[in-house]
Amino acid sequence: MAADRGIDADALLGNLGADQFADAVRAGTEPDLSEAVELAARCRDDFPAMRAVVVDGSVVHDAGAGVVEELGYSLAAGVAYLRALTAGGLDVNSAFAALDFRYSASADQFLTIAALRAARRLWNRVGDVSGASPNVRGQRQHAVSSSVMMSRRDPWVNMLRGTVACFAAGVGGADAVTVAPFDAELGLPDAFGRRIARNTQTLLMEEGHLARVLDPAGGSWYVESLTEQLAAAAWDWFTEIERAGGLASALSSGVVAERTASVWAARRDRLARRTEAIIGVSEFPNLTERLPKRDPYPDPPPDRKQPTLPVVRLAEDYEALRDRVDSITATSTARPAVFLASIGSIAASTARASFAANLFQAAGLETPSNGADDGDDAAIGSAFADSGTTVVCLCGTDQAYAQRADALIEALISAGAIQVWMAGSPKATSDLARVDGHVFAGCDALTVLNTVLDALGVGKEAGERT
């Protein structure tokens, strides 16, 4: 077609996008690099400015891997392609010139910047060891905004996440950047979502001047130090994959899957304890939000195999809880709730009441409260009975708990409470036998919320998505 239009083959730019490793991971099959070799040879002979292969590190990122694992995987995949291409007749320089790299850019600004810088350093080292010419060692990078960080709940926050990721990718030196539409997790993005995604990088380039400065983070002690740490750790992971027989063997033997699962499990625990916050989901949820409607994605082929690695998102566990509650709310006149029994003055109880409300609302639960407390336990019990729920959380100071908790819990149980929680550390109130659990900074919020939903009769099957 280019010849028909009078376009010189030497003027054709771009990448054909072959990545048999990523295809094999997503399809649950064994990688066959013969197609990559054939395309690379054709580009070398007929389209010298075209590249044939994309080394896609985002395939492990999407499964929950960390930056170190993504860098080490991409390095192992790149080396595997070099071996296949040179074995297929390409010289080292032509093999290097055939590869592009794709990395995920997250809302962790400095980690993304340092990761892209470390990736170029690592690939240059591979080129040095391989004897490639300096002019082909430079790693051409395509950064894509992370799908793992995207949320279905409060999707407008995805615009901020995408902006930070795009900024970090530009500062980190990516040659090309793709920002996913903010509504991509809700279904097929509409024209507005696509326009915002496109304009994000346009504004950053035209008004933020990201394309005018070469390595703007260079010289920053923090970024340089983080780059060095990531490079060293990623090289260690790369050499571990090589000791396992190379990437193909590491994938088939489960070495990559085990490492990825371990990293994801640790991060999932941080998410469960909210030491890593998801704005709009695990922190500051909006119970009154109305999600925009989007057309669904096409169904996958019926014969599609199970992928080698899963696809995960940070918000998925909390969103599953919201789905459970919303399915009940859709057929009920009231949303399931946890009553917050405020003890003492508003000034004394607000801190813990606000914390508890934020935590329970992460599951989509309402948090009615008695508000001001005049010291009458019976009045709090009456307000609880009027709330229509059977789960209560005490919110007050440790001193107020010591003075009133026992009597108040009896009043609440008499009013119909079947589960009693307490806001605050369990160390100060461990002698209260009638308390079912505590909510505090660092507690396992997901376990707490699942326990509460079970007590409220919101079964897991209610939140299953069709």
Contact yes or no for 125/153 (Cβ under 8 A): no
Residue with tokens 């997250």: 106
Contact yes or no for 318/360 (Cβ under 8 A): no
pLDDT computed for residue 426 by the predictor: 86
Euclidean distance between CA atoms 343 and 332, whole angstroms: 30
pTM, two decimals, is 0.92
* Identity at 141, one-letter amino acid code: Q
Euclidean distance between CA atoms 197 and 200, whole angstroms: 5
SS3 383: helix
Euclidean distance between CA atoms 434 and 419, whole angstroms: 9
Residue with tokens 């809880």: 321
pLDDT digits (tens, 9 = 90+) for 204-260: 999 988 888 888 999 999 999 999 999 999 999 999 999 999 999 999 999 999 999
Contact yes or no for 310/268 (Cβ under 8 A): no
User: What does each C-alpha distance from 438 to 69, 361, 367, 412 come to in angstroms?
Assistant: 36, 16, 16, 17
Radius of gyration of the chain (CA): 27
Classify 339-463 by CATH class.
alpha beta
The reply to whether 339-463 shares the fold of 9-271 is: no
pLDDT computed for residue 465 by the predictor: 34
- Give the bridge partners for 144, in sequence order: 104, 178
Residue with tokens 């507690």: 443
Euclidean distance between CA atoms 410 and 377, whole angstroms: 9
pLDDT computed for residue 3 by the predictor: 67
pLDDT computed for residue 305 by the predictor: 77
SS3 104: strand
pLDDT computed for residue 464 by the predictor: 43
DSSP 301: P
Contact yes or no for 141/93 (Cβ under 8 A): no
pLDDT computed for residue 377 by the predictor: 87
Residue-range domain boundaries for the chain: 9-271, 339-463
Euclidean distance between CA atoms 125 and 231, whole angstroms: 11
Euclidean distance between CA atoms 62 and 312, whole angstroms: 6
pLDDT computed for residue 123 by the predictor: 97
Per CATH, the number for 9-271 is 3.20.20.240
Euclidean distance between CA atoms 285 and 288, whole angstroms: 9
SS3 339: strand
Angle between helices 109-130 and 221-243 (to 10 degrees): 50
DSSP 107: S
pLDDT digits (tens, 9 = 90+) for 330-364: 888 889 999 999 998 888 899 999 999 999 999 99
H or E element in which residue 410 lies: helix 398-414
User: What does each C-alpha distance from 231 to 111, 188, 225, 332, 391 come to in angstroms?
Assistant: 12, 37, 10, 54, 50
* Identity at 119, one-letter amino acid code: A
Q: In what order do the strands lie in the sheet containing 437-439? A: 339-342, 391-395, 419-423, 437-439
Closest CA to 361 of 226, 453, 263, 257: 453
- Per-block mean pLDDT, blocks of 10 residues, the chain (466 long): 71 86 91 93 88 95 98 98 96 95 97 97 96 94 97 97 97 95 96 96 91 89 97 98 96 96 98 97 94 91 82 97 92 90 91 96 96 85 93 93 90 94 80 82 96 88 41
DSSP 164: H
Closest CA to 74 of 266, 262, 235, 259: 235
Strands (E), 290-385: 339-342
Closest CA to 210 of 163, 161, 275, 243: 163
Contact yes or no for 185/151 (Cβ under 8 A): yes
pLDDT computed for residue 458 by the predictor: 87
* Residue 139 CB partners (closer than 8 Å, separation 6+): 101, 119, 120, 123, 124
pLDDT computed for residue 375 by the predictor: 81
